[in-house]
C-alpha cells in the first residue's frame, strides 16, 4: 500500500445536540487530519431504541445502512460525550444494534476516540466505558495520545473549536491515528 493512500475514516458522534461540542470537535479533527485520512461523518440519531422484537421483524434500514458504512470504512473516529459517567444513550443504542448483526462490523476495525464535556474531567469515564464495550466487539483502539476536552464551553466559539492547545492535541492524535490505521491494515487487511 502506498504511503499516500487515503484511508476512509467514519466519524460517529455520541451527541445529537445541534450545537454539540463533540460534533464541533469531530469536524475540527476532520480538518486537522493528515492528508492520508479523509473523514465522513455519519448519523446515529435516526436509529430506533434497540428492541429485539423490532430486530425479529428484520433490521431497520438505518441499522443496515450504519453497518455498511462501518464495514466500508478503514477506521472509526468517535466523538463521545459523557452522560452520567458513561457513554451517551444514543451511542450505546447504536452499538447495541451493530452488535446484533451476525457478521458484525466492528471486528478488527481500527478506532480512535476523544471526548468533550462541559465539566473539567473531559469525559474520561465515558471514554473508558466506550473503549471497554467496543473492545468486546473486536475494535482495535489507538491507545495514545488520549484526548479529553474539559470545560468545553471555553474552547469553542460559534460552533468551532477555537482553543489552540486542544487543536494541537487533536492534530497529534490524528497523526498517531494514521500510523495506527496503517499498522492495523497490515495486521488485519
Ligand atoms: C443527561 C446528561 C448527563 C451528563 N452527564 C455528564 C457526566 O457524567 N460528566 C460530564 O462531564 N458531563 C456530563 N454532562 C454534561 C455534558 O458534558 C455537556 O452537556 C456536554 O456539552 C455534552 O456534549 P455535547 O456538547 O457534545 O452535546 C451531562 C449532560 C447530560 C444532558
State the 10-residue block means of pLDDT for the chain, 189 residues long.
76 98 98 98 98 98 98 98 98 98 95 97 97 98 98 97 98 98 94
**Cell output for 154:** 471555553
Can you tell me which atom of ligand 1 is nearest the CA of 16?
27
**Cell output for 26:** 469531530
pLDDT at 130: 98
Note whether 135 and 163 are within 8 A (CB).
Answer: no
Q: Residue 64 C-alpha to ligand 1 middle, in angstroms?
A: 29
Q: Residue 130 C-alpha to ligand 1 middle, in angstroms?
A: 15
pLDDT at 1: 46
Q: Is the CB of 88 under 6 A from ligand 1?
A: no
How many Å is the maximal CA-CA distance in the chain? 49
pLDDT at 76: 98
Q: Residue 108 C-alpha to ligand 1 middle, in angstroms?
A: 30
Residue nearest to atom 23 of ligand 1 (CA): 81
Residue 25 is inside which H or E element, if any? helix 21-32
Q: Which of 115, 126, 101 is nearest to 25 (CA)?
A: 115
Record the pTM.
0.97
Amino acid at each position: 500500500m502506498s504511503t499516500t493512500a487515503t484511508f476512509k475514516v467514519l466519524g460517529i458522534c455520541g451527541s445529537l445536540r445541534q450545537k454539540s461540542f463533540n460534533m464541533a470537535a469531530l469536524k475540527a479533527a476532520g480538518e486537522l487530519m493528515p492528508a492520508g485520512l479523509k473523514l465522513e461523518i455519519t448519523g446515529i440519531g435516526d436509529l430506533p431504541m434497540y428492541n429485539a422484537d423490532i430486530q425479529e421483524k428484520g433490521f431497520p434500514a438505518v441499522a443496515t445502512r450504519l453497518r455498511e458504512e462501518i464495514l466500508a470504512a478503514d477506521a472509526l473516529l468517535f466523538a463521545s460525550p459523557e452522560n452520567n459517567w458513561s457513554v451517551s444513550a444514543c451511542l450505546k443504542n447504536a452499538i447495541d444494534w451493530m452488535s446484533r448483526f451476525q457478521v458484525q462490523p466492528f471486528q478488527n476495525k481500527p478506532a480512535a476516540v476523544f471526548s468533550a464535556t462541559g465539566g473539567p474531567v473531559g469525559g474520561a469515564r465515558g471514554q473508558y466505558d466506550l473503549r471497554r464495550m467496543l473492545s468486546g466487539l473486536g475494535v482495535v483502539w489507538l491507545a495514545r495520545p488520549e484526548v479529553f476536552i474539559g470545560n468545553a464551553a471555553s474552547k469553542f466559539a460559534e460552533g468551532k473549536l477555537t482553543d489552540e492547545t486542544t487543536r494541537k492535541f487533536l492534530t497529534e492524535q490524528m497523526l498517531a491515528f494514521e500510523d495506527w490505521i496503517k499498522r492495523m491494515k497490515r495486521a488485519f487487511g
